[in-house]
């Protein structure tokens, strides 16, 4: 089955620094990647959608200069939180859609990254 | 615009009781997909089911069952003989054909009391 590996699982960083989160599709080609953010006891909110080789499409209200998304290959997408501040502390989850051969995989989620900015 | 409503914020039941989680959706499309995910305390999303809009048959998988009713735009999830391991947040989600976005409901936190 499809597997999406997300790293790191958790990260603590100082305010003002940048943090990179990786999302890899291990056994299929992810033509589309989605990045979600989840605050405690809340739902998943879509931040952006990225297709391999093109710029990400951000949802309204999401700062594209703060949350840099790169989807340079069919198996890797990264989310960089630039100049992180405590209000950026959250749970970030990636999701991938794509296929391998004749098999198409729907939404496969990574295990999430818990970011704490101190 | 697509929207998913899970009116039950939190539910607590005693172990072995049956419990139903409600999901009501809104969409203008005639072709769409409905999902249920489980999110245990560890945070990862566990896929439970996907149903397309043309398949209204109810589905049963072990202790889990789903009731899809287009007439009421509902896709409810029932756990029979609940167990402590069922404690988690459950999300209902919707995607429309041709729109890759997956819209989540606000989730229902289910607590099974031993």
Model confidence at B77: pLDDT above 90: yes
Q: Which residue has the higher pLDDT, B112 or B96?
A: B112
Model confidence at B98: pLDDT above 90: no
A43–chain B Cβ distance below 8 A for any pair: yes
Helix (H, G, I), strand (E, B) or coil at A30: strand
pLDDT for res B97 = 86
* Residue-wise pLDDT tens digits, B24-75: 999 999 999 999 999 999 999 999 999 999 988 888 999 999 999 999 999 9
Cα separation, A35 vs A109, in Å, equals 10
Model confidence at A105: pLDDT above 90: no
Residues in chain A: 118
Model confidence at A104: pLDDT above 80: no
Model confidence at A14: pLDDT above 80: yes
pLDDT for res B73 = 96
Summarize the confidence of residues A10-24 as an average pLDDT: 97
pLDDT for res B30 = 92
Summarize the confidence of residues B80-93 as an average pLDDT: 97
Calculate how close chain A gets to B9, using CA atoms only, in Å.
10
In A, minimum Cα distance to B33 occurs at A106
B44–chain A Cβ distance below 8 A for any pair: yes
Candidates A52, A107, A116, partner chain B, best to mutate (most B CBs within 10 A): A107
Buried b (16+ CB within 10 A) or exposed e, B19-41: bebbbbbebeeeebbbbbbbbee
CA B99 to chain centre: 20
Model confidence at B103: pLDDT above 90: yes
Calculate how close chain A gets to B89, using CA atoms only, in Å.
9
Q: From residue A94, how far is each of A11, A46, A60, A67, B18 by CA, in Å?
A: 16, 10, 18, 13, 32
- Beta strands (DSSP E) in chain A are 4-7, 10-13, 19-25, 29-38, 44-51, 57-58, 67-73, 76-81, 90-100, 103-109, 113-117
Is A89 exposed, middle or buried, given 0-12, 13-18 or 19+ CB atoms closer than 10 A?
A: middle
* Residue-wise pLDDT tens digits, A37-54: 999 989 999 999 998 888
Cα separation, A117 vs B37, in Å, equals 28
Q: Which residues of A touch B36 (CB under 8 A)?
A: none
Quote the mean pLDDT of chain A: 92
Cβ pairs bridging A and B (under 8 Å): 43
Contacts of B12 (CB under 8 A, 6+ apart): B110, B111, B112, B113
Cα separation, B77 vs B57, in Å, equals 13
Summarize the confidence of residues B71-93 as an average pLDDT: 97
Calculate how close chain B gets to A44, using CA atoms only, in Å.
7
* Residue-wise pLDDT tens digits, A52-103: 888 899 999 999 999 999 988 889 999 999 999 999 999 999 999 887 777 7
Cα separation, B51 vs A7, in Å, equals 30
A10–chain B Cβ distance below 8 A for any pair: no
């Amino acid at each position: 089955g499809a597997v999406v590996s997300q790293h790191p699982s958790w990260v603590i960083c100082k305010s003002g620094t940048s943090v990179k989160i990786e999302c890899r599709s291990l056994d299929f080609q992810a033509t589309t990647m989605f990045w979600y953010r989840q605050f405690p006891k809340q739902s998943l909110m879509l931040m952006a959608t990225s297709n391999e080789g093109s710029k990400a499409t951000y949802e309204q209200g999401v700062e594209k200069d703060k949350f840099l998304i790169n989807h340079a290959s069919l198996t890797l997408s990264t989310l960089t939180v630039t100049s992180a501040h405590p209000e950026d502390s959250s749970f970030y989850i990636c999701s991938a859609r794509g296929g391998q051969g004749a098999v198409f995989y729907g939404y496969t989620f990574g295990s999430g990254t818990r970011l704490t900015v101190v | 615009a697509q929207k998913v409503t899970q009116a039950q914020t939190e539910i607590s039941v005693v172990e072995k009781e049956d419990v139903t989680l409600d999901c009501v959706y809104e969409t203008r499309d005639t072709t769409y997909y409905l999902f249920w995910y489980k999110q245990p305390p560890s945070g990862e999303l566990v896929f439970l089911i996907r149903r397309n809009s043309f398949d209204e048959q109810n589905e049963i998988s072990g202790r889990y069952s789903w009731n899809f009713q287009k007439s009421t735009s509902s896709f409810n999830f029932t756990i029979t003989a609940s167990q402590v391991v069922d404690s988690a947040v459950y999300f209902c989600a919707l995607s429309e054909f041709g729109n890759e976005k997956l819209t989540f409901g606000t989730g229902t936190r289910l607590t099974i009391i031993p």
